[in-house]
Amino acid sequence: MAKNDSGVEPLESPSATASNGGDSSGGETGVGQSNTGPPPQSKVTPESNRDESDEAAKESSASTPDQEDEDVAALTEGIGSVSIAPSKPPSGDKEESAPEAIKSVAALLSSKKCRNIVILTGAGVSCSAGIPDFRTPGTGLYDNLQKYELPYPEAVFSVDFYRRNPDPFVQLASELWPGLKHSPTITHSFIALLDKKGILLRNYTQNIDMLDVLAGVSEERMIECHGHFRTAKCIECSLSFDGEECKRIFVKEKRAPTCRACGGYVKPDIVFFGEALPDLFHRTVNKDMKKADLLIVMGTCECHIFPAILEPIALVLSSRELLPHCYFFGIAPLKALMVGPVNMIPEIVRKDCPRVLFNREIVGSFGQKNGPRTRRKSYDTSARDTFHGGDCDESIRILCDVLGWGQELDELNASTRLG
Which residues are tagged catalytic? 226
DSSP 59-80: HHHHHHHHHHHHHHHHHHHHHH
222 forms beta bridges with 203
Q: What is the sign, positive or negative, of the torsion defined by CA atoms of 263, 268, 274, 275? A: positive
- Please give the backbone phi and psi of residue 390, each rounded to the nearest 5 degrees, phi first: 135, -170
DSSP output for 171-185:
HHHHHH-TTTS----
The C-alpha atoms of residue 369 and residue 308 are separated, in whole angstroms, by 19
Phi, psi of 224 (to 5 degrees): -90, 90
Residue type, 78: G
What is the C-alpha separation between 145 and 152, in angstroms, rounded? 10
How many Å apart are CA 194 and CA 201, to the nearest integer? 9
Q: Are 174 and 250 in contact (CB under 8 A)?
A: yes
Assign 3-class secondary structure to 182-212: CCCCHHHHHHHHHHHCCCEEEEEECCCCCHH
| Torsion angles phi and psi, residue 15, rounded to 5 | -70, -35
- For residues 392 and 361, give the distance between their C-alpha atoms in angstroms, rounded to a whole number: 11
Bridge-partner residues for 385, per DSSP? 355
